[in-house]
Amino acid sequence: MPLHTKLTEKLGITHPLLLAPMGSASGGALAKAVTEAGGFGIIGFGYGNQERIDQEFLAAGNSRVGCGFITWALARQPHLLDRALDHKPAAVMLSFGDARPFAAAIKDAGAALIAQVQTVTQAVEALDIGADIIVAQGTEAGGHGAARSTLALVPAVVDAVQERSDDVVVVAAGGIADGRGLAAALMLGAQGALLGTRFLASDEALTSGPAKARIVAARGDDTVRTRVFDIVRSLDWPIPYTGRALQNGFSRQWHGCEAELEKSLRVEAPRYALAAAANDLDTSVVFAGECVDLIHDIKPAAMIVASVVREAEAALRSNLPR
């Protein structure tokens, strides 16, 4: 039972599965692997770096991939969008900020505009600027996000979008790591799913080996949504966004004591920078979602895509448990 949806039609892909553009993990090699497995790979450029844009598109080779930016950071370096568009991405995903200033350039370049949202209001705004695909991201997601949960947010966004447009596609994100999650997303009315944390534990991810091992060993209760890793790195993320990460010594010390951390940055910022350079994971951040419970191994991205799709097909075929 092939999972053909409006998403697979719009992007010309085989499976309704997107790679989240995680800045520290979703490089060209991972995006290429997901695309070649039938999904759609999206390179993550995070806070923006011209050299990295060229490097990761080169790593993706001739594969049809997209790219993603943190919108508020792109607004500080808008020339990076032009640099990315020079590489002819099939889609550009914008998250966390006002995408309006960039929408026309993306669409004029022939790329699909993917807007990630965390509220129904943001979804309607994305419609107004001409988004082709809207990713409704629940708070279960790893990395940055807001407060609405995936189970309630996705159908609400689907309903709001369907009232306005039959062409715009909604994709679910947040806490999805296996075929059951993809099947659930489809039952909620989404046309596919965007996965991040599951691909952190893939062979091709830029994630370090020790970080991948921590993700496999972790449980959802080991995660925390916090601002402390942004504060110590002097990243002024706008309200209401916080980052979900694996708890470690640093988060246990400072989460809930953010004001004190800000007063201690003269000592803590260089200490943190040294720890990050040394890959000291008891101090430096490993962003990951609540779905870490469902991740039991590290394997090639193609195998992850195949297993998620196979499990989703089986779940949709089967009768509900009695």
Q: What is the pLDDT of residues 171-190, one digit of tens each?
A: 999 999 999 999 999 999 99
Beta partners for residue 95, in sequence order: 70, 116
User: Does 1 have pLDDT greater than 70?
Assistant: no
Chain segment 4-52, per-residue pLDDT in tens: 999 999 999 999 999 999 998 999 999 999 999 999 999 999 998 899 9
* Distance in angstroms (rounded) separating the CA atoms of residues 302 and 148: 30
Binned at pLDDT 50, 70 and 90, residue 2 comes out as: confident
pTM of the model: 0.96
* Distance in angstroms (rounded) separating the CA atoms of residues 153 and 260: 34
Q: What residue spans in the chain does CATH classification 3.20.20.70 cover?
A: 6-207+296-317
Q: Which CATH class is domain 6-207+296-317?
A: alpha beta
For residues 188-204, average pLDDT:
98
Write out the two tokens for 170.
């909604």
Chain segment 211-258, per-residue pLDDT in tens: 999 999 999 999 999 999 999 999 999 999 999 999 999 999 999 999
152 Cβ neighbours under 8 A, 6+ residues apart: none
SS (H, E, C) the chain: CCCCCHHHHHHCCCCCEEECCCCCCCCHHHHHHHHHCCCECEEECCCCCHHHHHHHHHHHCCCCCEEEEEHHHHCCCCHHHHHHHCCCCCEEEEECCCCHHHHHHHHHCCCEEEEEECCHHHHHHHHHCCCCEEEEECCCCCEEECCCCHHHHHHHHHHHHHHHCCCCEEEEECCCCCHHHHHHHHHCCCCCEEECHHHHCECCCCCCHHHHHHHHHCCHHHEEEECHHHHHCCCCCCCCCEEEEECCHHHHHHCCCHHHHHHCHHHHHHHHHHHHHCCCCCCCCCECCHHHHHCCCCECHHHHHHHHHHHHHHHHHCCCCC
Q: What percent of the chain has pLDDT over 90?
A: 97
